[in-house]
Amino acid sequence: MIKEAVILAGGLGTRLKSVIKDIPKPMAEVCGKPFLCYILDFTIKHGIERVILSVGYKWEVIKNFFGGQYKNLKLEYAVENTLLGTGGGLKNALKYVNEEEVFVLNGDTFFDIDLNLFYNLHKSKNSKLSIALKKTENTERYGIVEIDENNRIVSFLEKGKRVSGFINGGIYLLNKNFFNVLSPEGNFSLEKDFLEKFYKDYEFYGFPFDGFFIDIGVPEDYERARKEFERFTD
């Protein structure tokens, strides 16, 4: 089982500025502690031993709070000196990854899935890149990920349509070298400039999970998280 994970925690949190202080989005307080704590606890629960935090905007706030360790989890920081986007930030963080494959999690979403099952599904397809998918009745904010009967991703549909479907749940499993060879340098989007660019040429897979999902990227969902996460508090 994989023991390392990258958490993408470099976002500006522009849409949350009205309800949180001028801090990185993963540091938004939820039930008395930063949202990032719940993601780190989730990785610990699934046997992850080392997390690389891809950080940029006000990254010192994260480093000053967590330091080099959270509970029994070793933390390392891959700092963006210039804005690199989700793809560039990930590529920068992969320099710190020791294993061939790694979990990648968004720092502003929480998706309560079984990482061991996700890993087994990924390996069963000999996949180079897999995405955990969540079924939702309103995909307007996210866009839709379509898969075939073998779970291969066959299309990414644009945001803006209020329809039912699978959305990207913000947890990935990928082969480090595969990503590094194909991806560009500098600032780029993991979603637009990698996933949507290469899914037709390579076999990317999507696996649906039913677990609790929340994205704190907009004020209304941040408020919902503050209610929902009361059940995760110690």
Mean pLDDT, residues 40-52: 97
- Structure tokens given for 160: 């803006």
Please give the mean pLDDT across all residues of the chain. 91
All domains in the chain, ordered by first residue: 4-232 (3.90.550.10)
- Range 186-192 average pLDDT: 95
Give the pLDDT mean for 191-216. Answer: 95
Q: Which residues contact 109 (CB under 8 A, 6 or more apart)?
A: 169, 170, 213, 214, 215, 216, 217
Give Cα separations from 175 to 94, 114, 166, 208, 211 (angstroms). Answer: 10, 19, 23, 20, 24
What per-residue confidence (pLDDT) applies to 14? 61
Of all residues in the chain, the percent with pLDDT exceeding 70 is 93
Give pTM, 2 decimals: 0.95
Asked whether the beta carbons of 165 and 221 are under 8 A apart, the reply is no
Average pLDDT, stretch 36-49?
A: 97
Per-residue pLDDT, averaged over 215-226, amounts to: 82
Q: What is the pLDDT of residue 10?
A: 85
Residues 109-167 have pLDDT tens digits of 999 999 999 999 999 999 999 999 999 988 888 889 999 999 999 999 877 666 789 99
Average pLDDT over residues 205-231: 86
pLDDT tens string 69-113: 999 999 999 999 888 999 999 999 999 999 999 999 999 999 999
